[in-house]
Amino acid sequence: MKNRAVIFSALLIAATAAAVVWWFVFRTSQHVSGPVRHEVYVWQRAWTEPVREAVSQHATNFAAVVPLKAEISWKDKKPQLTRVAVDYPTLAKAQMPVGIALRIGSYAGPFAGAPSTASASSERSPQRAETVLGAPNNAAAQDEAITTFLCDLAASLVAEAQTNHVALSELQIDFDCAESKLDGYRVWVEAIQRRVAPLPVTITALPSWLNARAFKRLVAVATNYVLQVHSVERPRSFDAPFTLCDPRKASRWVETAGRIGVPFRAALPTYGYTLAFDHTGKFIGLSAEGPRPNWPTNAQLREVFADPIEMSALVQQWTASRPAAMRGVIWYRLPTIVDNFNWRWQTLGAIVASRSLQEKLRIEPRRVEAGLVEIKLVNEGELDISSRLAVEVRWSNARLMAGDALRDFELADRSLSAARFQTKTQGSRLPAGDRVTIGWLRFDHDCEVRCELKKL
């Protein structure tokens, strides 16, 4: 009888454990509907005039804005700090919720707890990497010093914002943490939370973390997080499909996050990259803003961008139904007029305002002087144009003296009464809101020209 009772008890325990596992894995989250809350990152390291203009003109279209304030890299396990000179007066004028982001590069640990009393770190010059720790006598002291440094830094960032009349809504920590180190990361989060309380501390999270037990312990401490559903994966070849955000995967990840039950936002992409491949089609590297890497002269280049139609559809899907724990989306990143590897404001603004995205391209012939006509393309829609295009120009009662194409166009054909401009082998991208001159024609006297646009 004893053996039977023991067996029965063991089976009951196993069944109970299986039921608990089933509930955590397969339970469905409560769903809600209605307008989605939109926030946005300002991730530029230099607040140039275009960045300030973008914040001044467009930040109030969002529920909150989160600028990057500081970034930590590591050298010999010592933090190298770079501060961003955020323009606080511009943020203060916006009169809206503002978070600040602290970016932390990969760190293998271990993670030691911070002492309960620590002095705030002194302010240092912006835009300069700093080695901030000396050489303690042992590894444990070094680990504790790192945690203390992070707490001091977080407190100083918060104090700086408050001194500049910006009332913060959160401190975001964007840490490249290995999944195996999530319990160690929790030590940092708990220590930083104690230091900046009552300000909420938000962490960014990867979809690969969602099923880890350590992640559930981490977000239980953090109380909220940003789920990054966009990433850059190494493409297999030049022609291989490539996306910065797969909407089907993003939807599944959001549902998984919803079952955890901790409040979260989904980070969606607006950016793009140039991908480089060698002559055999092997991936070499990628670049965005700034000087192009020293790639071979015969490198094959391919531009890829987040798909605004797919991202708009995701937002519409979540407007109709989303997990109750999902508190909105946060876009990476706010467009500026000089940001060539990002959407223009026309695109992101339309999605935020729940407007449908439209292509709208027109031709604009412009008389420069007597007998000289420039041909312009104007993108008046919300979508970038990347198709190969042809513009046919016709006239009468005038003789064509000369003409030429500009940018990525060529003067493919001309006759006594017509000329044809068309894009070269690869179509060029015309961002939403842009206007470009694609060529010119000079006649022996003034005449009226008629233009027709075609997609090749």
Query: What pLDDT is recorded for position 310?
Result: 97
Query: What pLDDT is recorded for position 109?
Result: 79
Query: What pLDDT is recorded for position 303?
Result: 86
Looking only at the bridges linking them, the beta strands covering 130-131 and 78-83 are antiparallel
Average per-residue pLDDT for the chain: 88
Domains within the chain, CATH numbers bracketed: 31-352 (3.20.20.80), 361-455 (2.60.40.680)
Which residue type, as a one-letter code, is found at position 257?
A
Query: What pLDDT is recorded for position 25?
Result: 45
130 or 453, higher pLDDT? 453
Query: At residue 153, does pLDDT exceed 60?
Result: yes
Query: At residue 15, does pLDDT exceed 60?
Result: no
Q: In the chain, pLDDT over 70 holds for what percent of residues?
A: 86
Query: What pLDDT is recorded for position 301?
Result: 87
Query: What pLDDT is recorded for position 424?
Result: 87
Of 108, 24, 57, 28, residue with least CA distance to 321: 28
pLDDT band of residue 168 (cuts 50, 70, 90) is very high
Query: At residue 431, does pLDDT exceed 50?
Result: yes
Query: What pLDDT is recorded for position 384?
Result: 95
pLDDT tens digits along 385-396:
988 999 999 999
pLDDT tens digits along 329-359:
999 999 999 998 999 999 999 999 999 999 9
pLDDT tens digits along 313-331:
999 999 999 999 999 999 9
The answer to whether 340 and 290 are in contact (CB under 8 A) is no
What order do you get walking across the sheet with 372-379 strand by strand?
Answer: 361-369, 372-379, 435-443, 400-405
pLDDT band of residue 129 (cuts 50, 70, 90) is low
Query: What pLDDT is recorded for position 140?
Result: 66
| C-alpha pair distances (Å), 79 with each of 52, 74, 159, 178, 203 | 29, 5, 21, 17, 19
CA atoms of 17 and 447, how far apart (whole Å) = 85
Query: At residue 433, does pLDDT exceed 90?
Result: yes
Query: What pLDDT is recorded for position 285?
Result: 87
Query: At residue 133, does pLDDT exceed 70?
Result: no
pLDDT tens digits along 102-128:
999 999 877 765 444 333 333 334 444
- For 305, counting Cβ atoms within 10 Å of its Cβ (0-12 exposed, 13-18 middle, 19+ buried), the class is buried
Highest mean pLDDT among 129-143, 210-224, 231-245, 426-440: 210-224
pLDDT tens digits along 64-109:
999 999 999 999 888 999 999 999 999 999 999 999 999 999 998 7
Q: In the chain, pLDDT over 90 holds for what percent of residues?
A: 71
Query: What pLDDT is recorded for position 23?
Result: 42
pTM of the model: 0.86
Query: What pLDDT is recorded for position 10?
Result: 47
Query: What pLDDT is recorded for position 398?
Result: 95
Mean pLDDT on 158-173: 96
Query: What pLDDT is recorded for position 28?
Result: 62
